[in-house]
Structures are given as structure tokens and as C-alpha cells.
Structure 1
Amino acid sequence: MYGGWAGLRTVVAAVGALTVTAAASPARADGGTGVRAQAVHGAPEGADGPLLEAGGRTYTDRLAPGEHKSYRVRLDASSDAYVSAVVLPRPGSTMGLRDGIDVSLRAADGTPCGPARHRSFLSEGGAYPLADHVEHLAGAGGACGAAGIYRFVVARGDADGGDAAPVPLELRHTSERPAAGSPAPDPDPGPGSWSSQPPSASAGPVRGVTGGSGFDDAAQVGGGTWQDRIRPGETRFYRVAVPAGQQLFAKATFGKAPGPYVANGVRLGLNDAARGHVMNRTGAYGGDPATVALATPPAAGPGALRGGEAERGMGRAGWYFLQVSLNAKAAGARSGPVPVRLAVGLAAARKDAGAGLLPRVLGGRPAAAHGGTAGGGGWLRAFGYTGVGVGAALLLGLGGWVLLARRAGGR
């Protein structure tokens, strides 16, 4: 649906060149398809766990509610390193409201290397996969800047009445040399000011695809519209190459299926090549067709180091992973698959015209990309102030008009 705009040939050529570059870098590999996983057993927090070697290997473990597991990683001072954890709950399982995972990186003496990253299971009665990573960037200063052995800690939350069974855990350590001559970040990137509207596109053929069951077997897709089928409780994975300076637009449309209304019935998520969280969108599903969409900031664009979560998540060009999920309760007793259409598009970065204008005039923060509370409040306040100003001007003008009328009448 989004694949037919002008300049597509340029984008395709850029993606083709990017594919060659991406395959040469471990952190931008094709998801590790065909790489056999190695089972490990993490140690209690604070103890020396197994060593996770950098490269394309996937390690597997299991994580129970309330459990903390520690692993060792060897990091140097000249490479960017990413250590990720992926949790794959049983389809249809009900997770506790406080259940989820925290991932953190710590120096050998226990010093935290930045804040922990927290991810929660999102849907009652149909938990979705969780994935995120910690990063150790070349040139980092402080206690975590030196080369050496670090601890990667994965902690799970309280089951709190939900599924108390251990969940499968996938671990991965990737590293790469930072790109030479990378542009300095924009000192005022304006998070949320990138356009969320996909470019206009002409209708094109709908191609069939079968999404993977995880990152390692994710199906490759490009610009255009793709048709798949998904069963209740499933998550389908797709990978798409995003060149530097390009925004990714994706929209998943779920077909009609009998079943009850579920608030978080459908989902479209996005992760980077190192399994890091970029963004997540959910929507209600009650049997009628439903759509959920996302739009990203430009890959490797300004604000990658200082912007919001989405800007940081899109900090580099390369492979990105789309996840399409259908809640286990969304289709009721229906046992067959539900049709889903995935529209994917890439376009040169475009600023959202006027985004953040009034909040900046008022001295506030830029408006949120999708109308968050702070952004909405800023616009409402601006509208209120404008209304007061206009009202005052009208009253002053009316008063002047009345005064002139009285003077004219007295002549």
C-alpha cells in the first residue's frame, strides 16, 4: 500500500547496498537463521554466570517469576556492544500485572552501567514476546568505560496471580566497530517531530508471506503489501532493511473473525537488529477488521543519542524486526487462522509541519508524536491562551467602537 511512491527505485537501490553492508557486520546480521542455540544456566545475581561470547550465537535459558539471572560478557573499549534478552511466554498464558523483565549491565564491582530497561507483558490472557537490550558504546567514560568482564542481569517480575511457570529466555551478544565519520547528533532533535503520515502510494500487487516464529527465522519483507495468516495467540516476525535517513512506516490490518472484544487484541511491535525495543502499538479487536500502525523517526537520524526512546531505537541503519500479534482470546472458539495484511513503506525523513511549534512558543516540551497527554495538554493550553488573547482584543475593539459611536452621536 505504501510501496509505490516516487523515488522507490532510489530506496530499493539503497536497501540493496545496505543488505551487503549489513551482512558483513555481526550486529546487523540477518537474524541468525540456521545458527544452533546453546543452552546455558544463569547464576544468581552477583555471582559469575556463564560467558556469552560475541557473535551470531543464540543462548537459551529459562526464567521463573521473581528470579534474577546473571551472565558474563567480555567488552572492549573500541567496539559498540549490545546484549539482549528475549522472553517467549507460552501462547495464551495469562501473566501477572507486575510481570515482565528488567535487563541491566553492571561492572565487575556491581556498579550499574546506566539504568535498567523494563518491559512488561502487555495483554491480559495473551502475553506477547518481550525483547530489549543493554548497550556499551565505544568511548563511554566512567566506571563502565574500560575494557573487561561485565555482568548482564535479567530479572523477572512477580507473577501476581498469573502464570508462574518459567518462560523460555533467548540471549545474544553482538558487537561492531562504530562507523567512522558519524555525524554529530542534533543538539535539539525535537523528539516526536517527525512525520507520522506515510507518503501517498499507488496500489500495487499483494504478495504472500509466512512470518517467522521468532527473530531467527523472521521472514524478509520490503516496501509493499504482504498477506499472511495468524492464529490466536501467535506472533509473526518479519525483518526489513532500513537505510540511513529513511523512516519506516508499517500497518497491520486484521481481517474479520468471530470472537469477543479484547482491549489489546492486536499488536504491531518493532525491534532493532540487536533485539532492542523501538516501539510498540496495540489496538482493540472485537471480530471486525482492525488496524494498528506505526511510524518511526529516520534511521541513524538526528537525535539518535539524545532523543526519546524511538529516536534512540532507530539509532543506526540496518535490519529491523516487525512483530504482528493476535491475542489468544481475540477470536473466541475459532480455531482457524485470521487473515492479516501488512503494509510496509520507506521514505526519506520528513518533519511534521508545525509539530512542536506552539509548545516551543510557550516554553514547553515538543508535542508527543502520537498525541500523548503532555503534548495534548500543551496544545490545549496554547489554544486557551490564544482564545483569551483574542477575546481581550475583541473586547478592547468593541469598547473603542462604542466610544466612537457615543462621540458621533453627541455631535
Structure 2
Amino acid sequence: MLMMRRGRVHRAAAIAGAMCAVVALPGQARAAEGEPNPYRFASSAQDIEGGADTADATQIDAGATYRTSIGKGKQLHFKVRLDAASHAYASAVAVPRLGAQLSFQDGIKVSLRDGQGEVCGEGDARFGPGGIPKPVAANADRTVSAGGESCQQAGTYYVVIERSSKDSSSPGDWAVELRLFEEPQLKSGGNSVPVESWPTTMPELPTGAAQQRAGGTGFNDARALTQGVWRDEIEPGRTRFYRVPVDWGQRLFAKAELGSSQNRGMVGNALSMSLYNPARGFVLHDTARYLGEPVGVQLDPLPAVAYENRWGKNVDQRAMRFPGWYVLAVSLHPKTDSYGPGALPVTLRVKVDGPAKDREYARPAGVFSVAEQDEGAAAAGQTDGEARHSDVLRVVGVVAIGVGSVLVFGLGLWTVVARRRDSRGRGGRRGRRVAVQGGAVPQVTGASGSSDPADTPTPTPTQYGPPQGW
């Protein structure tokens, strides 16, 4: 009997151990083709379907977040009410499945149009060289300007999202996160004449020991970085997101570096880095091949953040038009797994140059402020020790719930079987069970009908031990 019980304990321990292994090691297996991308959507995102044309466009609201999907070669139409004073930005993040076959020409396009179909602004995002199935974002703007003729009135506007894919690309749907941001006017008004040039020399980037900081899976859980040197480990085929506060008058410089490897070979577009502004508008991108020797990608020198940049000549200048948290997305090509199993170490050097200028919006600006706090900000501000502690607590909680469920189920089964065995031992010989009526509690009676506990058979170990066969 003792050996039987030990065997049962060992089997229960084995079950609990297996559950721990499954929960604690979710990211060690290679991603299979078609596996969902780990991109974290906003917890407040509402599921929605876009219309096939403007006639059946789906209503959305500024400030809300939506989740939808788009098929190959499809268009989605949405409508929104805009006032006559705020600048508006419609943003779409396209999230293909891991392992999808994509072309560098595949991508997503967003346009914002007025009620007459006039295009107010448009933007697109491509997966770029290597066709890595990573999250990419694009936005379109409606800019209000003195003397402007179109797209200036209050009324109904349309957001159109288009997917472009080559015939050879995977046909599966892409998940899409949709948001529309409104930027208020400046309290003191703004100059409409942008600067025409800015320094193009790279300053010295931070050096010294790197601090460990694990990036997020998307815009909503991007980890906060300040000026300094940071280190992360990125799995082949994955993208990590980081966010940096940049205020009025400041310039952002950043570089990502991939260290040396004992293995040799060449992977084109192995390391890439993209920069997005607070409205998830694309700013610029850099990529580099990897030969097993140290390599880096860095942002070209950008102008200081200024309201006037919105009327600049270049896309990257126009994107640096407001303060807030700018997002760095660093990706590794899936083929970098040829340099060895597991994640590869990546170092980021971040510099925010210049003092912040004092410019104010006429009303609270939301994401267009370095003080903005979204749902990922609390986690983003954690140290890695705190983040690991939180992760451990989550794992322990999940394991405890799972193991507890197994034990509760086992004890419940044990009790049911034991009671049935006990009932069979008494039924027809020493007692009977009184029917439950009106919620009365069942009672076990002796042969004489008495409910005296003395007439109740005493349980033996064979009656109330673990069910046979455990």
C-alpha cells in the first residue's frame, strides 16, 4: 500500500513538473510557419471590421484603439468625425504571422480623405529588404494650416487601409491595429516656415557598460530608454520595441550593434532598425548585412523636434513635428539562426541632444508629450530586475493555478469514488439515503431509521483511501 501511494505521489509530481516546464519555457521552441506574431495589441482595442468601400465604411472614434485584419489585395474603409482645429493622424500597424513568405515590396498604405474623396495625406510602410514578417506601421495626416483650402473643415473623413502583396507572398490575413490621434494647436500659434538645414555630423554616442533592458513586442509595451548604452537579446526573426522621450528642440541619435560570432557566413539585411514618431508615423530606417563580425545600424542625423517641421521638404523632417515618445524597432533576420541557437546579443546606444524648449499646446496633448503615460509605460519604466521578478510571479501564479486545479480535481475524484464505495457497502444492508426535498441536507440513517452517528458505519482505510489504480 505504501509503495502504491508513493507511485501516485511521483506521478502527481511528474505532472506538476511537466506543467512547470510548459509554462516556464514558452519561448525556447522555434516558431513554426503560420504561428501568431507575439505583437502585443492594446488591451483596450475593440474588434472591428472595415467596409469594402466608403458607402459601408465603419465608424471609428478619435482616441480609441481598434483591432481588425486585412486580406491579400484588400482595402478597408472607416469613417470618423473631425473638427476644424485639430491636426489628425490615422495610424495602422500591420502584423503578419511569423514564418510568412513576404516580398520587400509587400506592405500597407494608409490614406486620410475628406467627404469628397480628396486625399488629405497618405503614408505607407514596406517590410523592406529581406521581407521579414515583422510589425510595420504607417500613418496619414490631416494638417490644418492658415489659408488651406482642402481638408480643413469639420465633418466626416475616411480612413482607407490598403494591403499590397506580390503573387508569391503568403496569402494569410494580417492583423491590424488602428488608431486615430488628434493633435491640438499650439497655445501661441506656430511658424509655417521650416528650417532648411541642420547639422549632419554624428555626435559621439554614449560609451561604457551597458544596462540590460529587454524590449517589448510592439508599440503598446515598448520599453523606455533614456540616454545611455543598453543591451538586449533578440531571437532570429523577431523585433524588439523601445521608446525614447524627445521634447521640443531636442534631437535623437541612436545606433544598434550586433556583436561577433564564432560562426561565419553572410546574412543579408541581418540587422535592421526603424524609427517611428509618437503618432506611429515612419521616420527612417537602416539595415546591414552580417558576416559574423561586429556590425551596426544607425539613424541618419535628424532635425530637432519642431512644430514647423510639418511643412518641411523631406519625409523624415516632416515626421519630427511634435514631442513625445519616439519608438525604435530593432529586428533580426530569421536566417541569423545560422550563427547558433537562441537569441543574439544586441547593443543600443541612445543620445538625446539639446535642452528642451518651452512650447505648450492649447489643451492636453495626449501622446504628443513626453509626460504621456500609456498602458505600457508602467512596465516600460521597470528595471529588468523588477520585470524579471514580475515575470517570475506570473509564472509561479500560472503554475500554482494549474497544479492546484489538478490537485482539486484529484481530491474531488478521490472523494466521489470513496463515497460511492462507502454507499455501496451500506446500501441494502445497514442503511439508506433520505431523499433531498426542498433543499434539505441528506442524512445517512441506520437500519432502524435512526440518524444517530453511532449507527453510521465507521470508515476504514480501504473505504476512504485514494481510489484504487491511482
- Scaled by the length of structure 2, the TM-score of the pair is 0.62
Q: Aligned partners of 2:46, 2:321: CA distance in 1, in Å?
A: 29
- Is the CA contact 2:105–2:128 (under 8 Å) kept in the aligned structure 1? no
2:94 aligns with 87
Deviates more, 1:268-277 or 1:92-101: 92-101
- Is the CA contact 1:97–1:160 (under 8 Å) kept in the aligned structure 2? no
Q: CA deviation at 1:316?
A: 1.1
- Is the CA contact 1:233–1:326 (under 8 Å) kept in the aligned structure 2? yes
- Is the CA contact 1:96–1:160 (under 8 Å) kept in the aligned structure 2? no
- Scaled by the length of structure 1, the TM-score of the pair is 0.71
Q: CA deviation at 1:259?
A: 6.5
* Residue 224, structure 1, aligned to residue 228, structure 2: yes
* Structure 1 residues 146 and 304, CA gap change in structure 2 (3 angstroms): closer
Residue from 72, 76, 79 that aligns with 1:65: 72
Deviations 1:78-111 (A, max 9, x none): 1121110011122342213542111111122322
Deviations 1:151-172 (A, max 9, x none): 1000011332011111111101
* Residue 239, structure 1, aligned to residue 243, structure 2: yes
Which amino acid is the alignment partner of residue 123 of structure 1?
Answer: P
Pairs aligned (count) = 313
1:42 aligns with 50
- Is the CA contact 2:124–2:139 (under 8 Å) kept in the aligned structure 1? no
Superposition pairs of residues 186-225 of structure 1, within 5 angstroms: 186=193, 189-191=195-197, 193-199=198-204, 201=206, 203-225=207-229
- Is the CA contact 2:69–2:174 (under 8 Å) kept in the aligned structure 1? yes
Which amino acid is the alignment partner of residue 215 of structure 1?
Answer: F
1:337 aligns with 343
2:11 aligns with none
Residue from 270, 273, 277 that aligns with 1:272: 277
- Is the CA contact 1:46–1:110 (under 8 Å) kept in the aligned structure 2? no
- Is the CA contact 2:190–2:307 (under 8 Å) kept in the aligned structure 1? no
Deviations 1:118-177 (A, max 9, x none): 322213352332211111223473342111111100001133201111111110111131
Q: Secondary structure at the match of 1:344?
A: strand
Q: Secondary structure at the match of 1:142?
A: coil
Which amino acid is the alignment partner of residue 61 of structure 2?
Answer: E
* Residue 112, structure 1, aligned to residue 143, structure 2: no
Q: Secondary structure at the match of 1:47?
A: helix
2:258 aligns with 254
Q: Secondary structure at the match of 1:144?
A: coil
Deviations 1:189-241 (A, max 9, x none): 335x432412465x444211110000000000100001110000111001110
Superposition pairs of residues 12-411 of structure 1, within 5 angstroms: 35-55=43-63, 57-114=64-121, 116-139=122-145, 141-186=148-193, 189-191=195-197, 193-199=198-204, 201=206, 203-257=207-261, 258=263, 260-294=265-299, 295-300=301-306, 303-332=309-338, 334-348=340-354
Q: Aligned partners of 2:42, 2:135: CA distance in 1, in Å?
A: 21
Which amino acid is the alignment partner of residue 348 of structure 2?
Answer: L
Root mean square deviation, CA, Å = 2.2
Q: Aligned partners of 1:260, 1:59: CA distance in 2, in Å?
A: 42
* Structure 1 residues 109 and 34, CA gap change in structure 2 (3 angstroms): closer
Q: Aligned partners of 1:179, 1:306: CA distance in 2, in Å?
A: 18
* Structure 1 residues 303 and 177, CA gap change in structure 2 (3 angstroms): closer
Deviates more, 1:169-178 or 1:126-135: 126-135
Q: CA deviation at 1:73?
A: 1.5
Q: Secondary structure at the match of 2:220?
A: coil
* Structure 1 residues 121 and 144, CA gap change in structure 2 (3 angstroms): same
Higher helix share: 2
Q: CA deviation at 1:43?
A: 0.7
Q: Secondary structure at the match of 2:316?
A: helix
Deviations 1:292-318 (A, max 9, x none): 011321111654422311111111111
Unaligned runs of 5+ in 1: 1-31, 350-411
Q: CA deviation at 1:180?
A: 1.8
Q: Secondary structure at the match of 2:318?
A: helix
Q: CA deviation at 1:53?
A: 1.2
> Which of structures 1 and 2 has the larger relative contact order (alpha carbons within 8 angstroms, sep 6+)?
1
Which amino acid is the alignment partner of residue 268 of structure 1?
Answer: M
Q: Aligned partners of 2:287, 2:120: CA distance in 1, in Å?
A: 31
